Amino acid sequence: MPPELQTPPPQPDAAAHRSEAAPRWTERLHGLGPVIGLVLLCIAGTLLNSDFATPDNALNVLTRTSFIGIIAVGMCFVIISGGIDLSVGSMAALIAGSVIMFINWAGPALGSPMLAVVAGAALAVVLGAMFGLAHGLLITKGRIEPFIVTLGTLGIFRAYLTYFADGGALTLDNDLADLYAPVYYASLLGIPVPVLVFVIVAVIGGVILNRTAYGRYVQAIGSNEQVARYAAVDVDRVKILTYVLLGVCVGIATLLYVPRLGSASPTTGLLWELEAIAAVIVGGTALKGGAGSITGTVIGAILLSVISNILNLTSIISVYLNAAVQGFVIIVVAFLQRGRR
């Protein structure tokens, strides 16, 4: 019998390997985009104004970033899960006003100004968690879209602050303001307290998102909520916790912000939601949910602050157009993301 012909083993298709490798490089480049943008902006800022590349200005930028950055960490979880929160600026304003009223009352009532300040700071976090819980319950149990819920509370929160302030401003008593001031103005090893808190919040957020089951559930829900339900994930519980987490972040940012001016008015926290959402999506988080990182969000927040800082130092355009720049950034990034899941 003639020997059987041996069929050569199939050779791997080089073209297929190249086609698989291309998306990987594209994804890596996309992930490095915010870093590259930040580096280029820093170079441009240094060339445009020598005052940009100074330690004092760097600390000023990071301190300015810390409030929005802390909120953006919480917003990152919400957007990854497929949600949105338009009320964080108004929520911060109402929390700030409530904390100021409480501290002004508690100082004489408790007989201990320091205890009043500590209790006021705790109240900020508690109020943030309660507001986040209300959002989560309305969205999950009430079956209302996140956009509608948070759009409604955006108006409610700011209206109540305006009512409490009688259209003006709520101000901390001078002695209490002096006692509270180190929370914003103090430094540890030369680093401002708000920056240190921002770093701690970002590290904890990164660990939760990447190293815990809850973080994996958040990403799974954002990728495909129905599949997550089939996988026995308690979707409603995870979503509620996500909005509570964002509320806590808003509370932390607010308790750091109050001693900056020692007052709260109807314009407090104005457009913070725009800055927080912009930081998240500039950092690479997909608007449709399912993918994102805390590291990218932190870089996105710093990048936006650097843009504002450069505009302020160089007067290329009016400072009143900073919000317009951030709006354009959101639209451009959303356009670039249109092909992503």
Report the number of distinct structural domains present in the chain: 1
State yes or no: pLDDT of 21 exceeds 50: no
Q: Which of 8-12, 93-97, 251-255, 287-291 has the lowest mean pLDDT?
A: 8-12
- Confidence band for 20, pLDDT divided at 50, 70 and 90: very low
pLDDT of residue 164: 94
306 within some domain: no
60 within some domain: no
- Confidence band for 8, pLDDT divided at 50, 70 and 90: low
103 within some domain: yes
* 187 beta partners: 192
- Three-state DSSP at 287 gives coil
State yes or no: pLDDT of 18 exceeds 60: no
CA distances, 204 to each of 200, 214, 245 (Å): 6, 13, 12
225 within some domain: yes
Q: Which of 18-27, 123-132, 235-244, 319-328 has the lowest mean pLDDT?
A: 18-27
CA dist., res. 132 & res. 33, Å (int):
32
Quick: pLDDT tens for 161-181: 999 999 889 999 988 999 999
213 within some domain: yes
Average pLDDT estimate for 91-96:
96
Residue 102: domain span: 67-278+286-292
Quick: pLDDT tens for 179-227: 999 999 999 888 999 999 999 999 999 999 999 999 999 999 999 999 9
187 within some domain: yes
pLDDT of residue 67: 93
pLDDT of residue 137: 97
195 within some domain: yes
**From the CA atom positions of the chain, what is the Rg in Å?**
23
Quick: pLDDT tens for 115-131: 999 999 999 999 999 99
Taking CA 64 as the corner, what is the angle to CA 152 and CA 301, rounded to the nearest 5 degrees? 70
Average pLDDT estimate for 138-159:
95
pLDDT of residue 40: 86
304 within some domain: no
